[in-house]
Amino acid sequence: MARLRGAVGRGRSAGLLSCDTVPAGITVTNLGELGIESMTGVIPPPDEGRLCPIQAAQRPTYW
Protein backbone atom coordinates (compact mmCIF):
# COMPACT_ATOMS: atom_id res chain seq x y z
CA MET A 1 0.00 0.00 0.00
CA ALA A 2 2.88 2.35 0.74
CA ARG A 3 4.26 1.75 -2.75
CA LEU A 4 0.90 2.69 -4.28
CA ARG A 5 0.68 5.84 -2.17
CA GLY A 6 4.18 6.81 -3.30
CA ALA A 7 3.26 6.34 -6.96
CA VAL A 8 0.06 8.36 -6.52
CA GLY A 9 1.99 11.17 -4.85
CA ARG A 10 4.58 11.23 -7.65
CA GLY A 11 1.79 11.21 -10.25
CA ARG A 12 0.04 14.16 -8.67
CA SER A 13 3.27 16.14 -8.53
CA ALA A 14 4.16 15.20 -12.15
CA GLY A 15 7.19 13.24 -10.99
CA LEU A 16 6.44 9.66 -12.08
CA LEU A 17 9.37 7.30 -12.47
CA SER A 18 9.75 4.76 -15.25
CA CYS A 19 9.13 1.96 -12.74
CA ASP A 20 5.72 3.51 -11.94
CA THR A 21 4.43 2.91 -15.46
CA VAL A 22 3.99 -0.20 -17.60
CA PRO A 23 4.39 -0.56 -21.34
CA ALA A 24 1.12 -0.09 -23.15
CA GLY A 25 0.05 -1.11 -26.59
CA ILE A 26 -2.75 -1.24 -29.10
CA THR A 27 -4.57 -4.46 -29.94
CA VAL A 28 -5.61 -5.08 -33.53
CA THR A 29 -8.34 -7.60 -34.31
CA ASN A 30 -9.01 -9.33 -37.62
CA LEU A 31 -12.71 -10.08 -37.16
CA GLY A 32 -13.59 -8.15 -40.33
CA GLU A 33 -12.23 -11.05 -42.34
CA LEU A 34 -14.83 -13.29 -40.72
CA GLY A 35 -17.74 -11.09 -41.83
CA ILE A 36 -18.26 -9.23 -38.55
CA GLU A 37 -20.05 -5.93 -39.28
CA SER A 38 -19.99 -4.41 -35.79
CA MET A 39 -18.08 -4.98 -32.58
CA THR A 40 -17.79 -3.56 -29.09
CA GLY A 41 -14.23 -3.77 -27.86
CA VAL A 42 -13.16 -4.01 -24.24
CA ILE A 43 -9.81 -2.37 -23.54
CA PRO A 44 -8.00 -4.25 -20.77
CA PRO A 45 -5.28 -2.42 -18.84
CA PRO A 46 -2.51 -1.58 -19.72
CA ASP A 47 -3.67 -1.33 -23.36
CA GLU A 48 -4.29 2.16 -24.70
CA GLY A 49 -6.70 1.25 -27.44
CA ARG A 50 -8.11 -1.32 -29.80
CA LEU A 51 -8.36 -1.16 -33.59
CA CYS A 52 -11.25 -3.20 -34.94
CA PRO A 53 -11.44 -3.05 -38.72
CA ILE A 54 -14.78 -4.49 -39.79
CA GLN A 55 -16.19 -5.63 -43.07
CA ALA A 56 -17.70 -2.90 -45.19
CA ALA A 57 -21.36 -3.62 -45.83
CA GLN A 58 -23.05 -2.60 -49.04
CA ARG A 59 -26.34 -0.91 -48.26
CA PRO A 60 -28.77 0.67 -50.70
CA THR A 61 -28.61 4.43 -50.95
CA TYR A 62 -31.90 6.33 -51.30
CA TRP A 63 -31.78 9.79 -52.83
Region 37-54: mean pLDDT is: 74
The count of domains in the chain is 1
pTM of the model: 0.37
d(CA 44, CA 34): 23
Task: Please answer whether residues 36 and 58 qualify as being in contact, where contact means their C-beta atoms are separated by less than 8 angstroms.
Answer: no
Q: What is the pLDDT of residue 44?
A: 73
Q: What is the pLDDT of residue 20?
A: 73
Supply the range of the domain harboring residue 41.
Answer: 23-63
Q: What is the pLDDT of residue 4?
A: 84
Mean pLDDT, the chain, as a whole number?
77
Q: Is residue 3 part of a domain?
A: no
Q: Is residue 10 part of a domain?
A: no
DSSP β-bridge partners for residue 51? 28
Q: Is residue 6 part of a domain?
A: no
Q: What is the pLDDT of residue 18?
A: 78
